[in-house]
Structure 1
Amino acid sequence: MTFFTLGKQALVGALLALPTAAPAHFLLEYTTDALIDRPGDVPVKLVFWHPFENGHVMDLERPQEFYVIHRGEKTDLMDTLQPITFTGASNSAAAFLGSVPVKRSGDYVLVTVPQPYFEESEDKYIQQFTKSVLNRNTLPTDWMAPVGLPTEILPLNKPYNIIAGSTFTGQVLADGEPVAGAEIEIEYMAAEPDMDGSAATAPVASPPPGGAVVAISDANGYFTFGIPKAGYWGFAALGSGPATEHEGKELSQDAVLWIRAWELE
């Protein structure tokens, strides 16, 4: 269930968008755990995929940037990236395996700036600025701060500590300013990458009827979504970035954020 406040014009746009929403493209920054117990190098898989239905995998070129922010300090992780092949239910495609050094307590905000991807079926380029947050020893340090991407989703709840059955609120930003009326596709990672192999786990849920789950940001860029199930959830604000063209084609600069939800035990 989604909860958001809309003006009349935004509501009409949302209703028009829902029936035709296609399965969502999502760039994953996948780690087995978001909460890290011990210091060390945490492996990260970068995969461009449709994880809800274990769908088509897109070839991922070497990113423009891959880095982590910890206690306000940025560390380049490009040297950790190794090309791999990732296999979904229907095909295999190029992906990357990297790592992030986790030592001190606090948040580790992972950021990927990919190359624009040409989607032939839509005759346009897609570039997803992607964030996820790891934490060590439950000390919050960086999760609530924007990282300065052309477009990003700023979490208003700790993104690694969401309770299933509660809600998550984010704010869509472009060049640091709120984006009103942004269309946010919402994806559950029903299948997850196998960190010891090249394939994915079996999906633990199926996509709901009616196509992609969509929310619309309000006048101040905020949206809220009720989290129904534990696991990883992705949010992609489509076309929220400032650039709209690449190599003579339409460009959709999307802001992607992954969060981790937990069941109360």
Structure 2
Amino acid sequence: MSDPPDFPELLTPWERLRQYTDARIALGRVGTSVPTAELLRFGQAHALARDAVQAELDGVALAEALPCNTLQVRSQAAHRSEYLRRPDLGRRLHPESARVLRAHRSDPAPDLLIMVSDGLSALAAQRQAAAVLHTLLPGLQAAGLRVAPVLIAGQARVALADEAAELLGVRLAIHLIGERPGLSSPDSLGAYLTYNPRSGTLDSARNCVSNIRPAGLDAGTAARRVLALTLQALRRGLSGVELKDTDGVLGEGPG
């Protein structure tokens, strides 16, 4: 959003709207082009989005910020360039990571798994994930749910949590992952929830809480929505297109 103007009474109606949105509206024009200041802002936003896509996740720093035990895993994509060119590799665990998870399987298995990963914006996971988990984990524990050690995953796509959850034998997976950056949101986090996650799970079987960032959906509200969805998914034994907002899910989180 724009900074407050020095003389608000001089603003046009379009310029007043700019105070309430990050959308690129009321840019003005000089002849057939946009003003230089707006062109420079666009270039800066585009550069921030590109940087967010290319950035690497600092798994050690993220683990230190999380209020729980963690395990580091990675996909089969060897580096960022391969990850961006081969989405399929980002959906499968590296064999060594799969071995680590098999070694951590327990009986009885935990109820759910949480994965935090870079996705298309490591910046989002680095900035937003800890705040979400500081609210979400106590809520899950208060509900009597057993949570596996949080997985921190590099070069990951959404489906990577399915294979990890299958190896650990959990009933539900929550994947906090960096979303594709927009020109005003390079650090937006998404939370994907999947009941009965397995390799090959369709996207239609997932629920998503998106745009988690200070300028979008704040971390506390997002965590409460994810918790409400989790409790509903476990109670009803499903997730995805059959678990809709009309069920009151998004309004039922703890206050």
Sort the TM-score into its range (normalised by shorter chain). under 0.3
Q: Relative contact order (alpha carbons < 8 A, sep ≥ 6): 1 or 2 greater?
A: 1
The structure in which a higher percent of residues are strand is 1
TM-score of the aligned structures, taking structure 1 as reference length: 0.26
TM-score of the aligned structures, taking structure 2 as reference length: 0.27
Larger Rg over CA atoms: 2
